[in-house]
Amino acid sequence: MEKYISDLSIGVLIVLALFLLTFAIQVYYYLRYYRKAFYKKLSILNKAENTTEPVSIIICARNESANLEKNLPLVLEQDYPDFEVIVVNDRSEDETNDVLKRLAGQYPHLRVSEVRNDPMFTHGKKLALTLGIKASANEWLLLTDADCVPDGRNWLSRMQRNFTANTDLVLGYGGYKKEKGLLNLIIRFETVFTAMQYFGMATVGKAYMGVGRNLAYRKSVFFSNKGFASHSNLYSGDDDLFVNETANESNVAVEMHPESFTWSDAEKTFKNWYNQKKRHLTTGPRYSSKTKFRLIIENLSRVAFLASFVLLLFTYPFPEYVLIVFGVLLLIKGIIYKIVFTRLNESILFLPSLVIEPIIPLFYSFLHFRNLTERKRRRWN
């Protein structure tokens, strides 16, 4: 009996130590990384305007006639003196070609490149994007997708004001449109949380990713990096892996003015979103060792904190102290989330985030596990 009590006490102490350690890790991440980008209001929103640089906007499209009809004019009508828009028609079988021909007649700064279908050769978005970059006339490239719509006519100018002599990459926010339903809330929260991570880490010189829905970089940097050569075999990675390879402590800028945002339609079914996120996470093993360590520790700390919290509520003699520590972390997160959601025009997510946030690390862990087991299965077969 005494041994049983002794073992139980040691177990409780181990869980308590894990609880306090993961609490400290979470506080560190939220205060060190996540609050940084969103608290620098004056330096970001009131940044001095730079001399306008000529810009090439590049959009890859495959069977996107409806989106191009709706969204492309908003890109072409940006309030900016010197820019071109290059749309790469990647083997489309719908009315994409007709839409582009008609719009090219209306907008002289629209240029169209075409990837023809070759049954002997398959490729993903990276080839189309590479062809668009090669066809571009300007040093600065601004990337978005056919299903993305700029927040307004100043999207290009807001992104371009970061094009300084010391900057090679500019990270923008690509959000999803608000619709009814739980899935839409989950997708939008996960998107905001991811943005909070990569914006925050970029602000302290540890940039590791961006999103192709709203990303700018130099053409010369693309070619000096040999494009996407190091991960050409992956369908994903044209945005996050490229940033991971080319970013350093001082060459990345973050733009978060509301006029710089782009908005897309979120996936309508959980299966489609699940497959999308699973595909995106295949790039994770290619991140730098330091990036992988930071992201793994953060994700594991959230899972371990919740697990130890639940265990201590039933085993620790003073559960009120456990609740106080949990409440302190909840307060810190709540304050930072409120600021982040407001700055990204996602304020409706504040209350749902209290329920959704604990689910995300479990979801990520499951996706990583699925990708790992599938890679092993492919090797064995």
Residues 46 and 35 in one domain: no
CB atoms within 10 A of CB 377: 9
Q: Which two tokens stand for residue 196?
A: 């909070």
Asked if residue 284 belongs to a domain, the reply is no
Cross-strand pairs, 57: 85, 142
Asked if residue 362 belongs to a domain, the reply is yes
The reported pLDDT for the residue numbered 40 is 61
Instruction: Count the domains in the chain.
Output: 2
Residues 310 and 192 in one domain: no
Last residue of a domain, one of 273, 302, 317: 273
Residues 237 and 308 in one domain: no
Amino acid at 88: V
Asked if residue 281 belongs to a domain, the reply is no
Asked if residue 7 belongs to a domain, the reply is yes
Asked if residue 357 belongs to a domain, the reply is yes
Residues 216 and 344 in one domain: no
Residues 209 and 309 in one domain: no
| Domain interval for residue 332 | 2-39+291-380
Asked if residue 283 belongs to a domain, the reply is no
> Where residue 144 sits, what CATH number does that domain have?
3.90.550.10
Its sign, for the CA torsion 92, 125, 239, 109, is negative
Residues 47 and 26 in one domain: no
Q: Is 68 exposed, middle or buried (0-12, 13-18, 19+ CB in 10 A)?
A: buried
Task: Give me the DSSP letters along 249-280.
Answer: SSSEEE---GGG-EEEPPPSSHHHHHHHHHHH
The reported pLDDT for the residue numbered 43 is 43
Counting as low any pLDDT under 50, the low residues of the chain are 1-6, 42-46, 48, 376-381
Asked if residue 63 belongs to a domain, the reply is yes
Instruction: Select from 97, 137, 101 the least CA-distant residue to 116.
Output: 97
The pTM (predicted TM-score) of the whole model is: 0.88
Residues 51 and 17 in one domain: no
Residues 123 and 143 in one domain: yes
Asked if residue 285 belongs to a domain, the reply is no
Last residue of a domain, one of 214, 246, 273: 273
CA distance 277 to 242: 18
Q: Which two tokens stand for residue 161?
A: 């004001």
CB atoms within 10 A of CB 101: 10
Phi, psi values for residue 164, rounded to 5°: -105, 175
Task: Give me the DSSP letters along 56-120.
Answer: EEEEEESS-HHHHHHHHHHHHT-S-SSEEEEEEEES--SSHHHHHHHHHHH-TTEEEEEE---TT
Q: Are 34 and 337 spatial neighbours (Cβ–Cβ below 8 Å)?
A: no
The reported pLDDT for the residue numbered 353 is 74
Instruction: Select from 166, 187, 176 the least CA-distant residue to 271.
Output: 187
Residues 66 and 140 in one domain: yes
Residues 260 and 363 in one domain: no
Last residue of a domain, one of 239, 273, 307: 273
The reported pLDDT for the residue numbered 380 is 34
Q: Is 320 exposed, middle or buried (0-12, 13-18, 19+ CB in 10 A)?
A: exposed
Q: Count Cβ neighbours within 10 Å for each residue of 351-363 and write b for 16 or more, e otherwise.
A: eebeebbeebbee
CA distance 200 to 29: 9
The reported pLDDT for the residue numbered 3 is 45
Residues 352 and 237 in one domain: no
**Residue pLDDT, tens place only, 182-217:** 899 889 999 999 999 999 999 999 999 999 999 999
The reported pLDDT for the residue numbered 320 is 92
Residues 226 and 304 in one domain: no
The reported pLDDT for the residue numbered 261 is 97
